[in-house]
């Protein structure tokens, strides 16, 4: 028999985008494992910056040095991948003895619309927590996107 807990998760997980305060089309939060169809096209241009917390020096990172082609596409447009890559960059630099902040400057287009700023490029994404059930403030609101159509 299926446990009630498992059954509850299987019912609630696909509906979690209704609990998140912004448009799932823009933020992608709650999109995975939901019942939404992928009737949209996302493209983006993203630059990752690593800043040494001690010296304040900042440098752009070429994510293609770390990732496959498919992964490179995902870290340009999908916030959960962006967050995960920021965590990995922090880990890589920690292994070198460096304490870093990771900033993401991402511009995203949905369904061929003009590129719009997707992330708050002043937030250290590596210092943020990921929550599968709520909105993340470093992802800019969809209203900024909708007003510029």
pLDDT of residue 32: 60
Question: Exposed, middle or buried by CB within 10 Å (0-12, 13-18, 19+), for 11?
Answer: exposed
pLDDT of residue 113: 86
pLDDT of residue 149: 45
- How many other CB atoms sit within 10 Å of the CB of residue 34? 14
Q: How far apart are CA 57 and CA 40, in angstroms?
A: 38
Q: Which has more confidence, 137 or 21?
A: 137
pLDDT digits (tens, 9 = 90+) for 7-33: 777 777 666 666 667 666 666 765 565
110: pLDDT strictly greater than 60: yes
Q: Which residue is listed with tokens 């511009």?
A: 107
Stated pTM of the model: 0.79
């Amino acid at each position: 028999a299926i446990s009630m807990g498992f059954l509850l998760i299987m019912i609630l997980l696909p509906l979690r985008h209704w609990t998140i305060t912004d448009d799932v089309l823009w933020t992608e939060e709650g999109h995975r494992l939901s019942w939404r169809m992928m009737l949209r096209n996302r493209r983006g241009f993203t630059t990752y910056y690593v800043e040494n917390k001690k010296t304040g020096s900042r440098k752009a990172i070429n994510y293609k040095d770390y990732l496959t082609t498919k992964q490179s596409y995902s870290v340009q447009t999908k916030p959960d991948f962006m967050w995960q890559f920021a965590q990995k960059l922090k880990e890589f630099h920690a292994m070198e003895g460096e304490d870093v902040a990771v900033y993401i400057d991402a511009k995203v287009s949905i369904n061929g619309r003009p590129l719009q700023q997707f992330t708050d490029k002043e937030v250290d994404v590596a210092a943020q927590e990921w929550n599968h059930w709520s909105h993340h403030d470093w992802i800019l609101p969809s209203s900024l996107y909708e007003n510029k159509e």
